[in-house]
A and B are shown apart, each in its own frame.
Chain A
Amino acid sequence: NAGVTQTPKFRVLKTGQSMTLLCAQDMNHEYMYWYRQDPGMGLRLIHYSVGEGTTAKGEVPDGYNVSRLKKQNFLLGLESAAPSQTSVYFCASRDPGLGRQFFGPGTRLTVL
């Protein structure tokens, strides 16, 4: 099992550009999450999904959109990137049996 994977690993954008981050999991988990990690602020929830075709807002959703068209994939979109969105983005999925989260390797995004 690959677990949770993320693409790309690194990306540099200019202000106003758009991009999509892809998260994939092969563990058949229903729940998937997108977090951003900034220095000194821990992990903050952007959006999450409780199953295919469903999404919901987290703590810091502004400026981001998500889609969960397939159970194994959870996409995070930035329509018009801003320097404040410079961060490391982590995707995670939740094991329903034990309630444990498994994280992807992260995407380091810089917006100039």
Chain B
Amino acid sequence: GENVEQHPSTLSVQEGDSAVIKCTYSDSASNYFPWYKQELGKRPQLIIDIRSNVGEKKDQRIAVTLNKTAKHFSLHITETQPEDSAVYFCAASKSTSGTYKYIFGTGTRLKVLA
């Protein structure tokens, strides 16, 4: 079945360093790839997304890259801050007969050490 693998499951970085989280998807028809940040006890919040016709997208300290050939996409956070500590989820989505479903990765717990 359709699957999204996410690595690593936990990641600790020093404040100011960069963090990279990687996801691999199985369905080559997937065409939309969002990233969510979830703080403890809160709802997932969209932080950045990318579509299959774009290779890279950047928003301040956050960037996402997409390699369609290899079927993987990555989240890059630069100049990490303690408030970046959270669980991050990737997802892949496609349209099937006009229906949109999203497959989520299992999450990465990011800890930014002050």
A: residues with CB less than 8 A from B are: 31, 33, 40-45, 48, 50, 56, 58, 90, 94, 98-106
B: residues with CB less than 8 A from A are: 6, 9, 32, 34, 42-46, 49, 89, 91, 93, 98-102, 104-107
Cα-based distance from A48 to B96 in the complex (angstroms) = 14
Give the A-B contact count at a CB cut-off of 8 A.
Answer: 47
Q: Are the C-beta atoms of A42 and B102 separated by less than 8 Å? A: no
Using A48-B101, A56-B99, A99-B93 as known contacts, say yes or no to A105 and B106 having CB atoms under 8 A apart.
Answer: no
Top 9 nearest A-B pairs by Cβ distance?
A42-B104, A103-B43, A43-B104, A42-B106, A103-B44, A99-B32, A105-B43, A42-B107, A100-B46
Dominant secondary structure at the B interface: strand
Measured between beta carbons, the chain A residues less than 8 angstroms from B6 are: 42
Using A99-B93, A100-B34, A100-B49 as known contacts, say yes or no to A43 and B44 having CB atoms under 8 A apart.
Answer: yes
Measured between beta carbons, the chain A residues less than 8 angstroms from B99 are: 48, 50, 56
Q: Are the C-beta atoms of A41 and B102 separated by less than 8 Å? A: no
Cβ distance B61 to chain A, nearest Cβ, rounded Å: 20
Closest to A35 in B: B104
Measured between beta carbons, the chain A residues less than 8 angstroms from B104 are: 42-44
Cα-based distance from A101 to B105 in the complex (angstroms) = 15
Cβ distance A30 to chain B, nearest Cβ, rounded Å: 10
